[in-house]
Amino acid sequence: MDTIQSDNYPIYFDNSIDELVNFVNKGGYSRFFILTDENTGIHCLPLLKSKIGSEEGYDLIEITAGEESKDIDFCIGVWKMLIDFGADRKSLLINLGGGVISDLGGFAASTFKRGIDFVHVPTTLLSQVDASVGGKTGIDIDSIKNIIGTFTQPKAVFIHYDFLKTLPARQILSGLAEMLKHGLIQDAAYWAELKTSDLKNPSAELVHRSVQIKNKITIEDPHEKGIRKALNFGHTIGHAVETNSLINDADPLSHGEAIAIGMICESYLAHKKTGLSLDELNEIVKVLSDLYPRYTIQESSFDTLLAHMLKDKKNQGGKINCTLLTHIGQCNIDNICTEAELCESLLYYINL
Amino acid sequence: MDTIQSDNYPIYFDNSIDELVNFVNKGGYSRFFILTDENTGIHCLPLLKSKIGSEEGYDLIEITAGEESKDIDFCIGVWKMLIDFGADRKSLLINLGGGVISDLGGFAASTFKRGIDFVHVPTTLLSQVDASVGGKTGIDIDSIKNIIGTFTQPKAVFIHYDFLKTLPARQILSGLAEMLKHGLIQDAAYWAELKTSDLKNPSAELVHRSVQIKNKITIEDPHEKGIRKALNFGHTIGHAVETNSLINDADPLSHGEAIAIGMICESYLAHKKTGLSLDELNEIVKVLSDLYPRYTIQESSFDTLLAHMLKDKKNQGGKINCTLLTHIGQCNIDNICTEAELCESLLYYINL
């Protein structure tokens, strides 16, 4: 499949791990570091190591898998390991893992000694179609997602489709929510194709198509002043539900599971406010409800959810801001929603 | 005095506080925040408050004065206060203080919600002629200075010369070291003028001239790939001495006191390695020794000092890198110095 050209960096799809080795060898780096977690350490790192050959010239930094590792404390841990390993400004950080690894590793690298080079090797569907593309880095503080971060582009992204074969079904579903979002906000034909595909195992071609859509939007508006906000569809409510679940649930929602709930609620708001037809709303709800398990939201949690929404980065002047669909494949950004409207949309989900 | 134009932002010298109020009023910000410490809170904040008038529309964030406050823990404190105060992406951070405030505040702002606007109101001589210009932000980890940071330009700098009148003599001397450095690396005529000036009270014109020199260099090379390294003259050894003093001394060296030591040692190395004449070396040593108190460096601390130098950001591949003078007013960057040479230069200082 074609290499996609992003904002001064390539996104490789074919022979990606060979391309990575090639990139490292030609890059003139003093040394390199591989940031990984215990999952990718088992399932993905061996392939990298076998291609790299020599064990000299690099060090491993392994963190605990899971969203909790995106906290500033883990970031400080990564910085200290880079210091201890003697990383200099000509060092390279390879982020091998899911969105936590690419967001955290990107932030750590973009601020270490005022910025060293980094590349992403995304190993989950979610990070292949979303986190690894577009130059956002981020960490959490007090469970507020991505509250601290930078806009810094990686030097390259290496997408190795076969890594997806090591993933549990729930992780595939998590990434799938972002793919469905890409169709809903930008490309009705892609949405139609997704609907009729085997979504338990999205093909390499579908992954490539999602990256194309995300890349096109982020190139147009790298700093999220306008059209990039389209990518926030489902995320105003979805992020709040996700944060709340992360704090309270023994087995928290995945990102995609939460965004699927957010997309249902925000599609309901779109039907009320921006002209999404009832048929379209019902179609979206059906596709998402068939794929994602029901999740119980208590009415007593609405205040907490609204408080989380109020902390969303897209807000201005204390108003909650949503991206809403006008049709399947089209959207409007910057729709202020009242607390009453947001609660109504949560009730809509509860009563489905 | 003329406003100096930097990399897309102005540096004001005349009526600076009025210009600041004007900037805030016209900027379209949702709110603003003033980062200050207990010293500037007493000596400088009242003027700002009186010019701003209304106490609505902004919040104060006060930190403890001193280099210890540049630690990541204080940065997390600033981020959390911005969160608690409801700062959004259209907020402005005003850094009112010395280099600690501008470095820390600049870093906190450049990473909060992936970057909000900030301006500097430098209140010390050191921050007026050095830290506030050039777009470096930074914080310390484990006393390693500026190990984490970004290159992010402020939206404006407001230099109010009269703030210097509130400073103790030792703080004036701290900033003066950077002014002397500007002459030594770039402008022999400026050095000659400084030598014959009242250096206990540098004039506004001399401050303006130093800012011009620093600004010219940083515009040419914002990301320190080449000529900007000239500004590191005195800092390879000086930073190590400063860090060591900060860790061990009850009354640690100021930045300028440490850099003055570093400039003496590195001028000695320049005489040995890059052609600085003995007369020039003696002249530099005389000027600096007349201004700055003697400091006792133990030979037993050399290993520790070398270890600090090895952590310097400018190094590559584990070699220690110095900027050295060729003449007064001219320098060469990227001179690798051996541990033996560095120790010899420290002995030279000890035996003066």
B22 to chain A, any CB pair closer than 8 A? The answer is no
Give the integer Cα–Cα distance in Å for A102 and B192.
Answer: 52
How many residues can be counted in chain A?
352
A57 to chain B, any CB pair closer than 8 A? The answer is no
Q: Kindly provide the b/e burial profile for residues B103-122, where b requires at least 16 CB atoms within 10 angstroms of the residue's own CB.
A: bbbbbbbbbbbbbbbbbbbb
Residues B148 and B193 in one domain: no
User: A30, B114: Cβ pair inside 8 Å?
Assistant: no
Q: How far is CA B280 from CA A227, A326, B173, B192, B283, in A?
A: 60, 74, 22, 12, 5
What's the rounded mean pLDDT across residues A165-184? 96
**In the β-sheet with B32-37, what is the strand arrangement from edge to edge?**
B4-5, B10-12, B157-158, B117-122, B92-97, B32-37, B58-63
Nearest CB neighbour to B313, from listed A113, A142, A310: A113
**Does the annotation mark B327 as catalytic?**
no
Residues B242 and B191 in one domain: yes
Nearest CB neighbour to B151, from listed A76, A115, A136: A115
Cα distance from N-terminal residue to C-terminal residue, chain A: 41
Residues A100 and A49 in one domain: yes
**Does the annotation mark B114 as catalytic?**
yes
Would you name the residues of A annotated as active-site residues?
114, 136, 178, 214, 224, 228, 232, 235, 239, 255
Residues A69 and A57 in one domain: yes
Residue A318 confidence (pLDDT): 79
Residues A108 and A215 in one domain: no
pLDDT in tens, A84-143: 999 999 999 999 999 999 999 999 999 999 999 999 999 999 999 999 999 999 999 988
**Does the annotation mark B228 as catalytic?**
yes
B122 to chain A, any CB pair closer than 8 A? The answer is no
Boundary (domain end) residue, out of A150, A166, A182 = A166
B83 to chain A, any CB pair closer than 8 A? The answer is yes
Residue B249 confidence (pLDDT): 95
DSSP alpha helix (H) spans, B221-301: 235-248, 255-273, 278-291
Query: How does strand A10-12 pair with strand A4-5?
Result: antiparallel
DSSP state at residue B116: -
Give the integer Cα–Cα distance in Å for A32 and A275.
Answer: 51
B110 to chain A, any CB pair closer than 8 A? The answer is yes
Residues B32 and B60 in one domain: yes
Residues B180 and B144 in one domain: no
Which residues in chain A touch residue B141, judged by CB atoms under 8 angstroms apart? 76, 79-80, 83
pLDDT score of B313 more than 80: no
Residue B88 confidence (pLDDT): 92
Residues A191 and A132 in one domain: no
What's the rounded mean pLDDT across residues B19-36? 95
Q: Which residues, other chains included, contact A304 with Cβ-Cβ below 8 Å and sequence gap of 6+? A: A244
How many domains, chain B?
2
- The C-alpha of A138 sits at a distance from chain B's nearest C-alpha, in angstroms, of 8
Which residues in chain B touch residue A72, judged by CB atoms under 8 angstroms apart? 76
Residue B67 confidence (pLDDT): 84
Residues B135 and B91 in one domain: yes
Residue A55 confidence (pLDDT): 76
Query: CATH number for the domain including A339?
Result: 1.20.1090.10
Residues A162 and A217 in one domain: no
Query: CATH number for the domain including A153?
Result: 3.40.50.1970
A282 to chain B, any CB pair closer than 8 A? The answer is no
Residues A22 and A149 in one domain: yes
**Does the annotation mark B55 as catalytic?**
no
To the nearest whole number, what is the mean pLDDT of chain B?
Answer: 95
pLDDT score of B144 more than 90: no
The ipTM of this complex is 0.91
The residue range of the domain holding B179 is 169-350
Residue A53 confidence (pLDDT): 84
Boundary (domain end) residue, out of B166, B196, B213 = B166
pLDDT in tens, B208-248: 999 999 999 999 999 888 999 999 999 999 999 999 998 99
Nearest to A300, CA basis, from A257, A337, A346: A346
**Does the annotation mark B170 as catalytic?**
no
Q: Which two tokens stand for residue A243?
A: 């944060």
Residue B299 confidence (pLDDT): 96
pLDDT score of A276 more than 80: yes
Residue B218 confidence (pLDDT): 95
A147 to chain B, any CB pair closer than 8 A? The answer is yes
Q: Which of A85, A92, A107, A113 to mutate to test the interface with B (most CBs of B within 10 A)?
A: A113
Give the DSSP H/E element, type plus range, for residue B12.
Answer: strand B10-12
pLDDT score of B8 more than 80: yes
Nearest CB neighbour to B111, from listed A88, A150, A224: A150
Residues B184 and B39 in one domain: no
A88 three-state secondary structure: coil
pLDDT in tens, A278-311: 999 999 999 999 999 999 999 999 999 999 999 8
Nearest CB neighbour to B115, from listed A90, A146, A150: A150
**Cα nearest neighbour of B31 on chain A:** A317
To the nearest whole number, what is the mean pLDDT of chain A?
Answer: 95
What's the rounded mean pLDDT across residues B297-314? 91
- The C-alpha of A134 sits at a distance from chain B's nearest C-alpha, in angstroms, of 13
- The C-alpha of B23 sits at a distance from chain A's nearest C-alpha, in angstroms, of 19
What's the rounded mean pLDDT across residues A64-76? 92
At B150, the pLDDT band (50, 70, 90 cuts) reads very high
Residue B78 confidence (pLDDT): 98
Give the integer Cα–Cα distance in Å for A301 and A322.
Answer: 20
B145 three-state secondary structure: strand
Nearest CB neighbour to A149, from listed B107, B114, B314: B114
**Is the backbone of residue B142 left (phi > 0), alpha (psi -120 to 50) or beta?**
left
Which residues in chain B touch residue A146, judged by CB atoms under 8 angstroms apart? 114
